[in-house]
Chain A
């Protein structure tokens, strides 16, 4: 802190010592120092800011009055350069405004993107030991071994602790999914809450992660079982807004167990709310020791892959060496587990795939967005970051080009100035400095303006992009100023170097003779730059078109079943396993045409297991869902072969229905071959444990039980009364109801229906939270982040187009000025207004057409690459290119339209008369 203060002070000392008389320096610096110390009480930022203001004031004050005027020639030169820059800016107001606007938009967009990217890349950095924390990932042993999973079995941590001394701490975090919590269960007024950000943590959790404790001792809080840590917000929710955190310590909270009994936890700590830039987002933490029963019971030490394992390495550890060394752990420790559970040796279980343990740095967990298997918390999308970063640079380039174009275009106006300066003995270097300084001043002004605009519009951007970005915290960071300064100088050099080079090269004799005023060179390059600008703009237009097209294509896609008008009730598992009473009640409601229970809802069916066809030994991974015949009816699934479960046949509950892909995966042929070799009656069996066998009674047409971003995977539909499956009775379950369109015709009827349902649920069991969803909305939600990004992309594309148009407008205005006489003569000789408009705009239209020709193949390639990442992709229609090209052309014509029409309608007498 003091270092930074000294830095600011030393810059000021330097600045004043260069500009102010020595005899005055001592007292001024003394005064500044004294005032700074006094102002510190009002805040450091304020004090620093005011010191700068005072320093500048002193400097300028003592430079402007006679006897104190410095004899420092550098300063005098700078002042004269400033003066010339200012006069030039005032003289050509239109160009100045266009330049400033273009640069402001460009820089503003760039700042916004910069803040966004910075925000995306600095998740989880608030932990004090963040740079030493790694998450252990391993292959997805329940599915595709080539895919990484972000969770491991519980004993990966114990093995690391045992065998790898490089780890200072290893801690496990277990997501407990959704839990029901009650306060004051035995008192008269009990309240139940549903918590979804609920984790079990180990005693060393807070040694590794730095969450901010308000009360309680982070070192001891999880040493015992049945302890609980709440965030402040959650504590307020449970115990009232007016409770003091210290009064919450020792209070008890009841947690509903999977069997419906209640367990009592004691609150031992309150942390301030979890920063939004954390991939671990919790509301409630309990000690992992409380789960010891479950951990003992399964004993699936290496294959119960529900744990996130984090390691804190010692300082100075060579992480790649550690990563190499830990690869021996699975073959050493896992065999007893695979033998006990699957009756398979380690080699048989892994089937030749390496059981690789991968160390992922904490800072990359969010930003890489992978591995997605079993991950929790917010995830970033590296693709968006890359795309936005590229757009930021492009937009900046566009605005720099604008500046170059406009500066060289108006060079004719400054040719005389350059000539006279040269005649009077100015070196080329001095001219060069002049133009670079002007460019830097433009960039500086625009950057300041851009900061104001960004600050003013950041809230709108946040709501658009669903982010939580703020400019203000950066203002306290000296690095930030350094970067901004560097940015201004670099951009100033980039934008100013060509004009400086070009303008300072004028030959004085020619310019003074007036030779340069028409037909000066540099036009070719300018046209090239316009083409470049419009190529980028058109490419962006085409890309946004396709992004929107793909999004609407995917969200409107046929998912293979009727997903509209399905209301879904959650938390049904809390009514116990037999819910027929509730079902009868729901069925009697006239608003519903179908009612069905399921242990999972599209698009979020994630469970699965390892299966094989009877008679074969090829093990395959199939998704599964437990449900009943009524649910399949409700979804209106189409049966390609066989039939649905039949309640009148009691044995049906041990049979299964497959989807088309599952039949194919099991090697039983495809849709066309069902007539010859029917899959009905064949046996699929589990590839682990007792190898339970299930007979296939039906095959349904493929439907998207996951987001349409994924290919349809093989699915086994198991009857929910099948008590042979190992997780019988466990898991979250739901009732889905199809709404009767004739009964529920408007939203108020829907609202009253929901109110009735809530009452009915409360009547049966008031501790079950009432929660519902609509299936079509859930499908929509799977595209939420893409849709957000689509909107943001539109915004940036718009900015790019605006910038390109500003440049074009400026050039058109300039050309109009240059060609006034030519067009005047044409008019006198009989050309009519429409011909003039044609002549004038064709010059620019040509450029746009060239841009279209360049942009089309490039974007075709890019769009094709992007679409390859989707399971279902919209076709690359040529009409999109045509539409984009047409709209770009229209935008360009409208931009230059004003200039061309006003030029065409000018009275030729006026344009020819002057001189």
Chain B
């Protein structure tokens, strides 16, 4: 489990789920990532990643929140798990550490 690092896109999705804090589902995650990264992504890509992250144990989910807008269908709300948070933190730490050693930024 420990060696299962995070891909760049996975990291973005995880961050978005964190930001959305409880209201993260396919479309809101897609919009959040699009908003911050500036690129447009397909819904399918978001879903695939969400489920992969859930598989890895970084996310958990439950169904809820149906609305008229969705033709009365529920959405799957994702939230981050303990391990997910650790992974994210670990990824951030690695980066932070490496940034410190970039000579160009030392002046």
- Interface of A: prevailing SS: helix
Contact in complex: B69, A28 (CB < 8 Å): no
Contact in complex: B69, A37 (CB < 8 Å): yes
Q: Is A15 an interface residue (CB 8 A)?
A: no
> Could you tell me the distance in whole angstroms from the C-beta of A470 to the nearest C-beta in chain B?
30
**Contacts A27-B25, A31-B26, A34-B27 given; does A61 touch B71 at CB 8 Å:** no
**Contacts A31-B70, A33-B70 given; does A54 touch B75 at CB 8 Å:** no
Q: Is A62 an interface residue (CB 8 A)?
A: yes
Q: Is A455 an interface residue (CB 8 A)?
A: no
The CA-CA distance from A888 to B63 in the complex, in Å, is 71
Q: Which residues of B contact A62 (CB under 8 A)?
A: 44, 47-48, 51
The CA-CA distance from A62 to B71 in the complex, in Å, is 22
**Contacts A54-B42, A65-B48 given; does A35 touch B27 at CB 8 Å:** yes
The CA-CA distance from A682 to B45 in the complex, in Å, is 96
**Contacts A33-B71, A35-B27, A68-B51 given; does A27 touch B76 at CB 8 Å:** yes
Contact in complex: A35, B69 (CB < 8 Å): no
Contact in complex: B75, A27 (CB < 8 Å): yes
Q: Which residues of A contact B66 (CB under 8 A)?
A: 30
Q: Is B19 an interface residue (CB 8 A)?
A: no
Q: Is A57 an interface residue (CB 8 A)?
A: yes
Q: Is B55 an interface residue (CB 8 A)?
A: yes
Which residue from chain B places its CB closest to the CB of A56 in the assembled complex? B44
Contact in complex: A28, B71 (CB < 8 Å): no
Q: Which residues of A contact B44 (CB under 8 A)?
A: 54, 57-58, 60-62
Query: 1/0 contact trace for B39-79 toward A, CB 8 Å?
Result: 00011110110011001000000010010011101111000
> Could you tell me the distance in whole angstroms from the C-beta of A700 to the nearest C-beta in chain B?
79
**Contacts A27-B25, A53-B42, A67-B55 given; does A61 touch B48 at CB 8 Å:** yes
Query: 1/0 contact trace for A65-82 toward B, CB 8 Å?
Result: 101100000000000000
* Chain B interfacial residues counted at CB < 8 A: 21
> Could you tell me the distance in whole angstroms from the C-beta of B1 to the nearest C-beta in chain A?
17
Q: Which of B45, B52, B69, B76 contacts A34 (CB 8 A)?
A: B69
Contact in complex: A30, B71 (CB < 8 Å): yes
The CA-CA distance from A61 to B51 in the complex, in Å, is 11
The CA-CA distance from A439 to B39 in the complex, in Å, is 39
The CA-CA distance from A34 to B52 in the complex, in Å, is 23
Contact in complex: A65, B76 (CB < 8 Å): no
Which residue from chain B places its CB closest to the CB of A31 in the assembled complex? B26
Q: Which of B42, B69, B74 contacts A26 (CB 8 A)?
A: B74
Q: Which of B48, B55, B74 contacts A30 (CB 8 A)?
A: B74
The CA-CA distance from A34 to B25 in the complex, in Å, is 12
The CA-CA distance from A61 to B44 in the complex, in Å, is 7
The CA-CA distance from A67 to B73 in the complex, in Å, is 24
Contact in complex: B42, A57 (CB < 8 Å): yes
Contact in complex: A61, B69 (CB < 8 Å): no
- Interface of B: prevailing SS: helix
Residue of A26, A30, A35 most packed against chain B (CB within 10 A):
A30
The CA-CA distance from A27 to B25 in the complex, in Å, is 9
Q: Which residues of B contact A67 (CB under 8 A)?
A: 55
Q: Is A29 an interface residue (CB 8 A)?
A: yes
Contact in complex: A30, B75 (CB < 8 Å): yes
Contact in complex: A31, B27 (CB < 8 Å): yes
Query: 1/0 contact trace for A1-36 toward B, CB 8 Å?
Result: 000000000000000000000000011111111110
> Could you tell me the distance in whole angstroms from the C-beta of A3 to the nearest C-beta in chain B?
16
Q: Which residues of A contact B47 (CB under 8 A)?
A: 28, 31, 58, 61-62
Which residue from chain B places its CB closest to the CB of A53 in the assembled complex? B42
Q: Which residues of A contact B43 (CB under 8 A)?
A: 31-32, 35, 54, 57-58
Residue of A27, A54, A58 most packed against chain B (CB within 10 A):
A27
> Could you tell me the distance in whole angstroms from the C-beta of B63 to the nearest C-beta in chain A?
7
Contact in complex: A30, B51 (CB < 8 Å): no
The CA-CA distance from A31 to B63 in the complex, in Å, is 13
The CA-CA distance from A65 to B48 in the complex, in Å, is 8
Contact in complex: B63, A27 (CB < 8 Å): yes
Residue of B42, B51, B71 most packed against chain A (CB within 10 A):
B71
Residue of B26, B69, B74 most packed against chain A (CB within 10 A):
B26
Residue of B42, B63, B73 most packed against chain A (CB within 10 A):
B73
Q: Which residues of A contact B26 (CB under 8 A)?
A: 27-28, 31
Q: Which residues of A contact B27 (CB under 8 A)?
A: 31, 34-35
Which residue from chain A places its CB closest to the CB of B26 in the assembled complex? A31
The CA-CA distance from A28 to B44 in the complex, in Å, is 9
Which residue from chain B places its CB closest to the CB of A13 in the assembled complex? B71
> Could you tell me the distance in whole angstroms from the C-beta of A674 to the nearest C-beta in chain B?
89
Q: Which residues of A contact B42 (CB under 8 A)?
A: 53-54, 57
Q: Which residues of A contact B48 (CB under 8 A)?
A: 61-62, 65
Q: Which residues of A contact B55 (CB under 8 A)?
A: 67
The CA-CA distance from A29 to B27 in the complex, in Å, is 12
> Could you tell me the distance in whole angstroms from the C-beta of B71 to the nearest C-beta in chain A?
4
> Could you tell me the distance in whole angstroms from the C-beta of B51 to the nearest C-beta in chain A?
7
Which residue from chain A places its CB closest to the CB of B61 in the assembled complex? A27
Q: Which residues of B contact A53 (CB under 8 A)?
A: 42
The CA-CA distance from A34 to B73 in the complex, in Å, is 10
Contact in complex: B73, A26 (CB < 8 Å): yes
Contact in complex: A61, B45 (CB < 8 Å): yes
> Could you tell me the distance in whole angstroms from the C-beta of A207 to the nearest C-beta in chain B?
43
The CA-CA distance from A37 to B67 in the complex, in Å, is 13
Q: Which residues of B contact A57 (CB under 8 A)?
A: 42-45
> Could you tell me the distance in whole angstroms from the C-beta of A549 to the nearest C-beta in chain B?
59
> Could you tell me the distance in whole angstroms from the C-beta of B65 to the nearest C-beta in chain A?
10
> Could you tell me the distance in whole angstroms from the C-beta of B94 to the nearest C-beta in chain A?
27
The CA-CA distance from A62 to B43 in the complex, in Å, is 12
Q: Which residues of B contact A60 (CB under 8 A)?
A: 44
Which residue from chain A places its CB closest to the CB of B43 in the assembled complex? A54
The CA-CA distance from A445 to B85 in the complex, in Å, is 47
> Could you tell me the distance in whole angstroms from the C-beta of B54 to the nearest C-beta in chain A?
10
Query: 1/0 contact trace for A167-184 toward B, CB 8 Å?
Result: 000000000000000000
The CA-CA distance from A193 to B106 in the complex, in Å, is 81
Q: Which of B51, B63, B73, B76 contacts A33 (CB 8 A)?
A: B73
The CA-CA distance from A57 to B45 in the complex, in Å, is 8
> Could you tell me the distance in whole angstroms from the C-beta of B49 to the nearest C-beta in chain A?
10
The CA-CA distance from A648 to B45 in the complex, in Å, is 98
Q: Which residues of B contact A31 (CB under 8 A)?
A: 25-27, 43, 47, 70, 75
Q: Which residues of A contact B70 (CB under 8 A)?
A: 30-31, 33-34
Query: 1/0 contact trace for B12-33 toward A, CB 8 Å?
Result: 0000000000000111000000
Q: Which residues of B contact A58 (CB under 8 A)?
A: 43-44, 47
Which residue from chain A places its CB closest to the CB of B73 in the assembled complex? A30
Q: Which residues of B contact A34 (CB under 8 A)?
A: 27, 69-70
Which residue from chain B places its CB closest to the CB of A60 in the assembled complex? B44
Which residue from chain B places its CB closest to the CB of A59 in the assembled complex? B44
Q: Which of B66-103 contact A (CB under 8 A)?
A: 66, 69-71, 73-76
The CA-CA distance from A60 to B51 in the complex, in Å, is 14
The CA-CA distance from A35 to B27 in the complex, in Å, is 8
Q: Which of A439-478 contact B (CB under 8 A)?
A: none
> Could you tell me the distance in whole angstroms from the C-beta of A422 to the nearest C-beta in chain B?
39
Which residue from chain B places its CB closest to the CB of A28 in the assembled complex? B47
Task: Give me the 8 closest cross-chain CB pairs, A-B, nearest first.
Answer: A57-B44, A30-B73, A30-B70, A61-B44, A31-B26, A27-B76, A58-B44, A33-B71
A-B contact pairs, 22 of them (CB 8 A): A26-B63, A26-B74, A27-B25, A27-B75, A27-B76, A28-B26, A30-B73, A30-B74, A30-B75, A31-B25, A31-B43, A31-B47, A31-B70, A33-B69, A53-B42, A54-B42, A54-B43, A61-B44, A62-B44, A62-B47, A62-B48, A67-B55
Contacts A53-B42, A58-B44 known; list 18 others, CB within 8 Å.
A26-B73, A27-B25, A27-B26, A27-B76, A29-B71, A29-B73, A31-B25, A31-B47, A31-B75, A33-B73, A34-B27, A34-B70, A57-B43, A57-B45, A60-B44, A61-B44, A62-B51, A65-B48
Residues of chain B at the chain A interface (Cβ within 8 Å): 25-27, 42-45, 47-48, 51-52, 55, 63, 66, 69-71, 73-76
